[in-house]
Amino acid sequence: MTRVAFFPGCLIPARHPPMEFAIRYCMRNLGVELVDLEGASCCPDPIYFKSKDKLSWLAVAARNLTLAEDLGLDVVTNCSGCTATLSESYHLLQDEQLRAKVNERLARIGREYRGTSRVRHIVAFVRDEVGYETIRESLVTPLDGLKIAIHYGCHLLKPSKIMQVDDPNNPSVLEKLVSALGAVPVRHRNWYLCCGKACQIGDIPTNMMHGLLGTVNDEQADILCMICPTCFGQFDHGQLKVMKQFDEEAYTPPIYYFQLLAFAQGVPYEELGIERHRLKPECLRRFTSVAAEERKVSTDGAYQEP
Amino acid sequence: MASGSCTNGDPVRVDFRFRRELAEKIEGNLASFCYQCGACVGDCPATTYGATFNPRELMLKVLYGLSDELMVTDSILWQCANCYNCHERCPQEVKPVEVIISMKNMLADRGIYPDAVRKVIETFEQTGRTTPLSPAVDRQRAKYGLSPLPPVPMEEIQKLIEPASIEGDEA
Ligand code: SF4
Ligand code: SF4
């Protein structure tokens, strides 16, 4: 089994436990052992705390990375925000002066950053270390013919020199991950647009979302798939808000990629945590298979090892 | 539009104190390499969907050190969506978004940032997380077979985010 340090961040564990459940479930099925990092904090977030003081932000990020260094493992992140912070910190800390400055801070708590653990977004990790074929082999309910619009979000791809995930002008990793489920990926015209969550003033975020959703809905996909929990929030309750504000009826229900994979690996629709979505991907119900129903669920709702 | 004192014809006095303060911030000094080509503007969503925001103009204001236009409550800086398109596009590796964040650090030094931002920062400084723990969160997690979230060792975080001490570390 491949072992990696798992950095789930704040948003997924606290606000979207079903996403974390899906990741742990899927990774186990794909032969990856996720090792939890004891004592980890917020990455810290690349929008708010970074706006207060970059040096403190970097010092806290470096501390999180040292937890993985202690275990001799690379870090896998599941949130594009965490990936932005930790990848950028790894990159910035290659500068000797800055590293010395940060290590002075870390010395206050008896730690030292060495730069020995790489940071990888779970999407890149799955592509490179697991492979699309292994995903295909893990499926119980292939999503044949399901039309899936894709949203990459910003921090998976950019800045590309730092993130090193995919071509920022023509990425393919999400298309391929979706195809591995048997589904048909579609790229909407505004695929590169930001979800707008980080913008703090005025109508800009709403206008951005409106522009984005227009081209998503044009594709008439069954669902919209993404890999960032912040984008997900924008596409769920954010989409509802935009629909109300612009008095529009068309929508595309969003889902986080690993919940989709968990479904295709046999977790029944009712157990995916969809009841918490404002816009529900009911179209998935047509795939409910005998295999999925036979799967055993323990009394507290947790899954037994397959 | 929105050029303020950049282009009104009067001679501009460069505010070097502002520039020096910005240069103290990580990657704050990168605006010095800006040659005003505008490559950062085309893919900037805050430019496309807002009325006045323009990263090239912001870099020009930085070069002049127009602190009065930038270091204000509800500064235009908060319109940036942090999408990193400008970082990707700039041929000079100015990283306009990083210069903008460095200026937000200067706003924070002056104690002026939007309430929504302040709230998240405070949550992080008090709990070590941006999304706080609660019994309801742990109940949700248990429903999915996930263990309760452990508290963050806050003594360590607080020591790390304290400014440089008088003993002179980070001198
Ligand atoms: S792309 Fe770079 S050099 Fe060109 S205007 Fe923008 S910041 Fe300046
Ligand atoms: S990071 Fe900010 S300034 Fe740069 S392109 Fe995005 S919105 Fe515009």
B79 near A CB under 8 A: yes
pLDDT of residue B6: 54
What distance in angstroms lies between residue B43's CA and the mean position of ligand 2's atoms? 8
Average pLDDT, chain A: 92
Can you give the pTM of this predicted structure? 0.92
Whether B94 and B34 have beta carbons less than 8 Å apart is answered as: yes
The pLDDT of residue B45 is above 80: yes
Residue A105: pLDDT band (50, 70, 90) is very high
Cβ(B40) to ligand 1 under 6 A? yes
Q: Give the other-Cβ count within 10 Å of B74's Cβ.
A: 13
Q: Which fold has domain A2-122?
A: Glutathione S-transferase Yfyf (Class Pi); Chain A, domain 2 (1.20.1050)
Asked whether the beta carbons of residue A200 and residue B79 sit closer than 8 angstroms, the reply is yes
From B48, B121, B144, residue closest to A48, measured CB to CB: B121
Query: Which of A289-298, B79-88, B162-171 reaches the highest mean pLDDT?
Result: B79-88
Which residue's alpha carbon is at the smallest distance from atom 6 of ligand 2?
B83
- What percentage of chain B exceeds 90 in pLDDT? 81
Distance from CA of A64 to the nearest CA of B (A): 10
Distance CA B48, CA B108 (A): 27
**Domain A142-266 bears CATH identifier 3.30.360.10:** no
Whether residues B145 and A53 touch (CB distance < 8 A) is answered with: no
The span from the first CA to the last CA of chain B, in angstroms, equals 42
Contact B128 A41 (CB under 8 A): yes
At which residue do the structure tokens 């564990």 appear? A13
* pLDDT above 60 for B4: no
Pocket test for ligand 2, best of B84, B88, B98, B103 (most atoms within 8 A of CB): B84
**ipTM of this predicted structure:** 0.91
Summarize pLDDT for B61-95 with one digit per residue, the tens. 999 999 999 999 999 999 999 999 999 999 999 99
The rounded distance, in Å, linking the Cα atoms of B152 and B163 is 20
Q: Is the pLDDT of residue B167 over 50?
A: no
All domains in chain B, ordered by first residue: 16-109 (1.10.1060.10), 115-164 (no CATH)
Distance, CA of B166 to CA of A301 (rounded, Å): 54
Q: Once rounded to an integer, what is the mean pLDDT over residues A7-32?
A: 97
Cβ contact (<8 Å) for B140 and A17?
yes
> What are the domain boundaries of chain A?
2-122, 142-266
Cβ–ligand 1 contact at B42 (below 6 Å): no
- Is the model more confident about A248 or about A291? A248
Give the pLDDT mean for B43-51: 92
Q: Percent of chain A beyond pLDDT 70?
A: 94
For residues A27-47, average pLDDT:
97
Residue A299 has pLDDT above 80, yes or no: no
Cα A81 to Cα A10, A238, B27, B66: the distances in Å are 10, 18, 19, 31
